[in-house]
Structure 1
């Protein structure tokens, strides 16, 4: 009895722990977002434009995510339609074969009928011959009934298949219409994003203003990552992620593209890059570099739509400037799993991915960790 109770208790306890972890991480995320607003010391015009930029970036993220989901559904439905059409063709062939066989049996019965079934039986002097005639008639009748039943089943299957096929085609058309509307919405949002960037450029004109903004954004990010690290330490451990220490130099890059800005390169003034910037196409998939848990998935000043993964043993990876975030706080992610799409959120003129690896809060050079 003890083992039965334990079997039901373990999944329930694990689910409760996962829910608690997700809730605590979401609370920390909300605190970070609230702190970001307080840390940003800029003019009211600047704040208004950044608020507009944030709203636009997040709207683009949501629309892009829905578009991706719609595309996946469209692919699934296309495959279903292809399979249903093949099944329809196969059932039609079976129906024609069954009709042909039944036609032959009816023809045989008709020809026998012309000889007068009753007269043929009365003319049989031999009991053995009479038995054979009766057996033949019974066999022919049973075979005919069997073929009729088979044909009925085939006709029903054909109708059902046809109905499912029609429903799938209607769903496909509806999704296609939704996709077109979302694409139109995305074009408008990207135009708004472009206008926000132009307005932001008009406000941050001098190098000094740019440096001040970058310093604030970098400071806010460091504080956010510190708060996340402290939160992770306080959380109950669900899965013992091994960290990145054993896979140094063997990690895959999160996306394909040319590295534009390298770790340690001068960013502005005395500021240097704490990660790398990879030029890539908008909408290109961003993959998680190693197993871990999503501990942040939202918008941050200067970095746009950001996703942070905790890999255990003090290691974290950060992915910024995304167009859409495909994972939520608390999600467990595997190596190579799609987690975001490349974009230009956070005030970027061109699409790229900002990528960092940190150990106990200290930034590491990704080129020494990724293959």
Structure 2
């Protein structure tokens, strides 16, 4: 899974290079990259074989939970859009019906006026005109009257046709709305089942880690996984080229907003649960499902589950800078996607085996962690 994503990252990175690069050089580069990827894949596969069945199950469950949360979000957006469309159609229908009633009244008045006037009265009036100018004005008036009546009838016909066309459109949107509601209900049921499954898996994992030493070893293994991932990304992916209009990451130091709202539960450099390990980032306590926003523009270079970090998204900002966002509930962008500063890229969750909702956030420069508080304001 990771290797396939790295291949995608590399293809995207090299796709942005100069078109004048010789084909032979491209083939040689791709050959070297594939060789390196194969090596990384063998290493990761070897590590996975050593993991407990509960860890594998947690990965599968939380990955599916993230997919479900993303699907729920998309389905709810579809539902909202369909409801807005249905409301617009209903409003238009009411407006057309009022317009139809007004047109019917106007046509009725015109028909009555034409009947009262009659062709005989019109002829008599024309024959009694003494002035040629008066006669001319009378003829223009009658022509105008007839044209206005014809136009009003045509407008009425158009209104009737639009009302006839809007009925099936309303029916179609109503059916689509009902289908989306059923889909949303099914997704919520599956989500609830997966959440129960996750709770049982976490209980089994907690039973495995019964001592302080076991917990420390587990945290070290999680740190090693993240470090290996970052090293693989840094070695295989060239820094991205950003448009000239974009501000370099380093120029925004101390000016960027935090990626999520909430209190910092763990600060950069502090001890992890009283162990000898330090936090390489910060943990922000926040509401589950609340937005996680990119602190700066860049390209997503990883969007997947990782032991310890859970559903993790990493953004490369160029110049050797990367930002990492972990423990997410769902990931809203895929590897290779561009993101803008302030754009919602994930939602806060508790993936990676955490009990409470929070965001793990790191900033790295050339692979080395740096204090996020020096970069983000507030």
TM-score bucket of the superposed structures, by smaller chain: 0.7 to 0.9
- Give a deviation string over 1:328-347, Cα, whole Å, max 9, x none: 11111111001011111111
Whether the 8 Å CA contact 2:320–2:366 is kept in 1: the answer is yes
Name the SS for the 1:83 alignment partner. helix
Whether the 8 Å CA contact 2:288–2:347 is kept in 1: the answer is yes
Single out whichever of 124-133 and 351-360 deviates more from structure 2.
124-133
| 1:58/1:32 CA distance change after superposition, 3 Å | farther
Match of 1:229 in 2: 234
Q: Pick from 59, 65, 70 the counterpart of residue 65 of structure 1.
A: 70
| 1:68/1:120 CA distance change after superposition, 3 Å | same
Match of 1:210 in 2: 215
Single out whichever of 261-270 and 128-137 deviates more from structure 2.
128-137
| Cα distance in 2 between the residues matched to 1:275 and 1:237 | 26
| 1:131/1:231 CA distance change after superposition, 3 Å | same
Whether the 8 Å CA contact 1:21–1:330 is kept in 2: the answer is no
Q: Pick from 49, 54, 57 the counterpart of residue 54 of structure 2.
A: 49
Q: CA deviation at 1:176?
A: 1.7
| 1:31/1:243 CA distance change after superposition, 3 Å | farther
Whether the 8 Å CA contact 2:65–2:195 is kept in 1: the answer is yes
Q: CA deviation at 1:32?
A: 5.7
In the alignment of these two chains, the number of paired residues is: 349
Match of 1:154 in 2: 159
| 1:36/1:342 CA distance change after superposition, 3 Å | farther
Match of 1:20 in 2: 15
Pair 1:38-2:33 in alignment:
no
- Give a deviation string over 1:20-50, Cα, whole Å, max 9, x none: 369x8x98899767643423574xxx52111
Name the SS for the 2:324 alignment partner. strand
Q: Pick from 366, 370, 376 the counterpart of residue 364 of structure 1.
A: 370
| Cα distance in 1 between the residues matched to 2:137 and 2:84 | 54
Whether the 8 Å CA contact 1:18–1:238 is kept in 2: the answer is no
Pair 1:351-2:346 in alignment:
no
Q: CA deviation at 1:167?
A: 2.0
Report the RMSD for the aligned CA atoms in angstroms: 2.9
Q: Pick from 175, 180, 193 the counterpart of residue 175 of structure 1.
A: 180
| 1:19/1:192 CA distance change after superposition, 3 Å | farther
Match of 1:184 in 2: 189
Match of 1:89 in 2: 94
| Cα distance in 2 between the residues matched to 1:300 and 1:187 | 22
| 1:244/1:136 CA distance change after superposition, 3 Å | closer
Single out whichever of 117-126 and 283-292 deviates more from structure 2.
117-126
Name the SS for the 2:272 alignment partner. strand
- Give a deviation string over 1:181-235, Cα, whole Å, max 9, x none: 11111111111111110010011111111111111110121111011112222x6
| 1:277/1:21 CA distance change after superposition, 3 Å | farther
| Cα distance in 2 between the residues matched to 1:347 and 1:197 | 6
| Cα distance in 1 between the residues matched to 2:137 and 2:310 | 88
Match of 2:312 in 1: 306
Match of 2:23 in 1: none
Q: CA deviation at 1:125?
A: 8.0
| Cα distance in 1 between the residues matched to 2:40 and 2:285 | 28
| 1:30/1:308 CA distance change after superposition, 3 Å | farther
Whether the 8 Å CA contact 2:126–2:138 is kept in 1: the answer is no
Q: Pick from 283, 286, 291 the counterpart of residue 292 of structure 2.
A: 286
Whether the 8 Å CA contact 1:124–1:130 is kept in 2: the answer is no
| 1:21/1:33 CA distance change after superposition, 3 Å | farther
- Give a deviation string over 1:58-92, Cα, whole Å, max 9, x none: 11111100111112222222322232222222222
| 1:104/1:125 CA distance change after superposition, 3 Å | closer
| 1:118/1:103 CA distance change after superposition, 3 Å | closer
Pair 1:120-2:121 in alignment:
no
| 1:75/1:32 CA distance change after superposition, 3 Å | farther
| Cα distance in 1 between the residues matched to 2:212 and 2:60 | 26
Single out whichever of 177-186 and 126-135 deviates more from structure 2.
126-135
Match of 1:337 in 2: 343
| Cα distance in 1 between the residues matched to 2:37 and 2:92 | 50
